[in-house]
Structure 1
């Protein structure tokens, strides 16, 4: 049976990641480490022999910059790229811009982990008084959407999945079915949502799935757009474990 290949990758670390701040929908750019990480991701894709016909990413600078670096490494800088807010990272509401370690000290590590990893629990909403509110809500990237009714003030992972999947189903899947070789460069939580959908992962189990930065992973999909095997990372076990440990360290006091 013929299968379709889709490759996904999480963006590299941004300046706020380096300071252990929660980026959320703030449009912070890649750190130098994030740029290097993106180069390695592009090299891994090239080494594995991947070529693409189209790429999809969010409207956030850090994802677009990561994708651009990867395509440069692949020798495909002119690849068509489509962008949507539906592939954005999760909106962390009032927690946007706050330090994770300080949050753990103030609210307890378990509460922070609940906000970060649970499926249904959303952080406190961002209000108009938040220092990032005007920059996010009034950002030029959102001139064409989301609508005022769709614009989140905070999101649980469930809410992130619910706004990401329509883009996957309505925009990306038709391209995959047409035979296009697709690369998706997005964020940890939007990619967790796609992984949950493709892998049939339960609401409970998705809380234990982390998507490491800059390590591409591959899905083989059948004609029904169902994964015929678990995601396969383009990295050694040691590299993968180190990346997972880095994610876990973010919420520690």
Structure 2
């Protein structure tokens, strides 16, 4: 059985300020660094230390990956930092306050921009665009490691990991609208030989996150 661990980077400086981050290369906060170490210690304690890791090139992701792998006792394992796993380009929204944008466009449009597959901010990417650059890397680099039986860690961003989760779980548009991935909490997918999840939606490795892991697949709520 192959094991895939998805991990959204720890809290970043712009997460803490509630700004659209996108491709901005911002650092982790001290809390984000703690989240990353905690994730690695948890993986080690559960016998899930990764054999290999893949991460975004943006520093909030590769720093999370480095701290997590080191805390898991896998500081010398192979790690690939790649463009394919980078965050969605939010275009003209990058750097803007989320609450201000919400007031400006209204709740329905705000949700569509953030969570649908096809909404593309001016000068930015849609989630479908993110999928188009991510899935070839999945098929050629990550999937072969899983097929060989490795435990693989993928450290990315809200939208790059949403794109991957949507592919793994074949999410409907309604389910995709509700899918949220919390920062710093490992999400375990146990995969069959065809790399299909044994449990749709995976399993968060923190009990407090279990309800959030189930909710998007049930109701698709924001």
TM-score greater than 0.5 by the shorter chain: yes
Instruction: Report the equivalent of 1:81.
Output: 79
Distance 1:239 1:185 in 2: 18
Alignment of 1:66 with 2:36, yes or no, is no
In the alignment, the residues of structure 2 paired with residue 56 and residue 156 of structure 1 have an alpha-carbon distance, to the nearest angstrom, of: 22
* Partner deviation per Cα, 1:196-241 (whole Å, 9 max, x = no partner): 11112113311111111111011111222211222011011x3555
Match of 1:232 in 2: 203
Counterpart of 1:173 in structure 2 is 143
Q: Distance in 2 between matches of 1:157 and 1:222?
A: 26
Alignment of 1:92-131 (within 5 A): 92-125=90-123
Alpha carbons 1:213, 1:243 under 8 Å: kept = no
TM-superposed deviation, 1:35: 0.9
TM-score for the superposition, normalised by structure 1? 0.79
- Structure 2: segments with no counterpart, 5+ residues: 215-221
Instruction: Give the TM-score normalised by structure 2.
Output: 0.90
Q: Report which of the two structures shows the higher radius of gyration computed on alpha carbons.
A: 1
Cα distance change, pair 209–197 in 1 and its aligned pair in 2 (3 A): same
Unaligned 5+ segments in structure 1 are: 126-153, 245-251
Query: How many angstroms apart in 1 are the aligned matches of 2:165 and 2:209?
Result: 20
RMSD of Structure 2 on Structure 1 (CA)? 1.9
Partner of 1:78: helix, strand, or coil? coil
Question: How many residues are matched?
Answer: 214
CA drift at 1:47: 2.0
Superposed displacement of residue 175, structure 1: 1.4
